[in-house]
């Protein structure tokens, strides 16, 4: 009856763990959806959106968030900032929400009913320009490839770490059992020829 080879079994278990680790790391990286965010601003109802150069001022500016598809299975989160202006009629910072037929601009506080209806309507109708869409798509692709590359590095790093741990445990166990390195069993002692 042959004895159980513990070292061969442990090598197979270690190989299985390494394969699971590497496969899992690459799959997680591959399926990790990139998050791309773009900020746009507009100063008035008659102005188009443009890429924001400064932050939206919470409390005085109105903000809407929306998500736009930039390709199959790819999207960009957009923050739309509706900048407030100083209205000379009452010397208050208000968000413009309407320009009437006389050319008069109307404004109100960022959380007023009129401004909220206006910002929601503009957010629903917001369309990325082709340049902005291409820029967001390039950023999305770049981030996706970065995720895959990092996943491969994590897979390789984990494989190396598990290999080192396997060698270390094998070295310790062999030392206690008196088994030489590279062997699975203690060498048989020669039997004496004396009777």
Give 167-190 pLDDT, tens digit per residue. Answer: 888 888 777 777 776 676 666 666
Residues 10-48 have pLDDT tens digits of: 888 889 999 999 989 888 888 888 999 999 999 999 899
Query: What angle is formed at CA 56 by the lines to CA 53 and CA 58, rounded to 5 degrees?
Result: 165
Residue 133: inside a domain: yes
In this structure, the answer to whether residues 70 and 47 fall within a common structural domain is yes
Q: For the beta carbon of residue 41, count every other beta carbon within 10 angstroms.
A: 20
Whose structure tokens read 């401004």? 115
Residue 54: inside a domain: yes
Q: How many domains, the chain?
A: 2
CA distances from 70 to 37, 77, 123, 133 (A): 12, 10, 16, 6
Higher pLDDT, 126 or 88: 126
In this structure, the answer to whether residues 24 and 43 fall within a common structural domain is no
Q: What average pLDDT does range 39-68 have in this prediction? A: 90
The residue from 128, 144, 159 where one domain ends is 128
Which domain covers residue 134, as residue numbers?
1-31+129-185
pLDDT for 1: 46
In this structure, the answer to whether residues 122 and 165 fall within a common structural domain is no
Question: In the numeric block, which tokens belong to residue 158?
Answer: 């984990």
CA distances from 64 to 40, 77, 81, 109, 126 (A): 10, 11, 7, 14, 11
On the question of pLDDT at 147 being above 50, the answer is: yes
pLDDT for 54: 78
In this structure, the answer to whether residues 140 and 110 fall within a common structural domain is no
């Amino acid at each position: 009856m042959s004895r159980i080879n513990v070292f061969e079994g442990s090598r197979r278990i270690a190989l299985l763990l390494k394969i699971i680790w590497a496969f899992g790391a690459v799959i997680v990286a591959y399926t990790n959806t990139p998050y791309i965010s773009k900020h746009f601003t507009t100063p008035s109802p008659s102005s188009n959106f443009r890429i924001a150069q400064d932050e939206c001022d919470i409390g005085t500016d109105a903000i809407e968030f929306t998500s736009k598809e930039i390709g199959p299975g790819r999207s960009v989160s957009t923050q739309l900032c509706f900048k407030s202006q100083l209205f000379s009629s009452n010397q208050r910072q208000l968000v413009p929400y309407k320009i009437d037929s006389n050319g008069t601009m109307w404004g109100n506080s960022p959380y007023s009913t009129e401004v909220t209806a206006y910002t929601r309507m503009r957010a629903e109708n917001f369309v990325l320009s082709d340049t902005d869409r291409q820029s967001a798509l390039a950023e999305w692709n770049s981030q996706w490839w970065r995720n895959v590359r990092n996943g491969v590095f994590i897979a390789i790093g984990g494989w190396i770490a598990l290999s080192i741990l396997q060698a270390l445990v094998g070295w310790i166990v062999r030392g206690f059992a008196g088994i030489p390195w590279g062997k699975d069993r203690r060498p048989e002692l020669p039997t004496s020829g004396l009777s």
